[in-house]
Amino acid sequence: MRVTPLTGRFGADVTDIDLSVPLAPDDLVSLRAAFLEHSVLAIRDQDLSIEAFEDFALQLGEFGDTPYITPVDGHPNVLRLLRESDEAGPLFGSGWHSDWSFQTQPPSATLLFGIDIPPAGGDTAFTQQEAAYDALSDGMKALLSDLHGVHSARRSYGPKGTFGQQDDRRSMEIVGDETALETRTHPLVRTHPETGRKSLFINEVYTVGIAGLHESEATPILNFLFNHCRRIDFTCRVRWQKGTLTIWDNRCVQHYAIDDYFGYRREMMRITLAGDTPA
């Protein structure tokens, strides 16, 4: 297995590994170590059936819960992310976010596998939230240390959300409902359960307020953090190829699906892995 950093800060390409068969124990240990070190791994040149994709995911952890989106028939933990060449509605995954941060136990990781990939465009951008936290002043770190963000799916999957209404033009079957109006609170600064590193845990898609603060008080803090989080020196991009499987750590990165491939079809498979309660 060869690991090649994507940037000087985080992210890596991984080659010379075959995920279509169970990994040897030593290879699995090495892959886990690379994941914790780099936060984003783009594993290239894979040929995976949906069953092999599931089997590999289960070597890393248990399946996470995926609401609002109809999974692949017969595979309740796998989503088919499809966008046809003439589809022009809102892109699933756009906007900086950490997957399902509105859940009580958001997913630890997301696995995304490229099946049909445009010749250019459709990169996924990532931003490292440990780096974002480290770059804050001591005063700002102190201010945030006891604050909790309010997370909700309402902007995306609520009745008035981006994907809250049935849209027959959409290739993916996404069905929002009233449960998207519910809220959860998580620390604005969380500690990674495996590495012990601190990171910011907010995002502009799902973080809608700060517990105990009026909206007029919370909004300036959140807007500052949203802008700070996506500073260019905290980011990397994965350029997709057919057969690329990218894994990212939702506990310390945000991501953004770039919508710049109109006229081309794209199809991917996605699995999330169960996480723990942020602390």
The residues annotated with a catalytic role in the active site are: 97, 99, 255, 270
Please tell me the distance from the alpha carbon of residue 147 to that of residue 143, in angstroms, as a whole number.
8
| CA separation for the pair 229, 118 (Å, rounded) | 28
Report the length, in residues, of the chain.
279
Backbone angles phi and psi of 23, in degrees to 5: -75, 145
Tell me, letter by letter, the H, E, C secondary structure of 121-139: CCCEEEEEHHHHHHCCCHH
Q: What Cα–Cα distance (Å) separates residue 76 from each residue in 59, 69, 72, 137, 234?
A: 17, 10, 6, 44, 34
Distance CA 121, CA 31 (A): 28
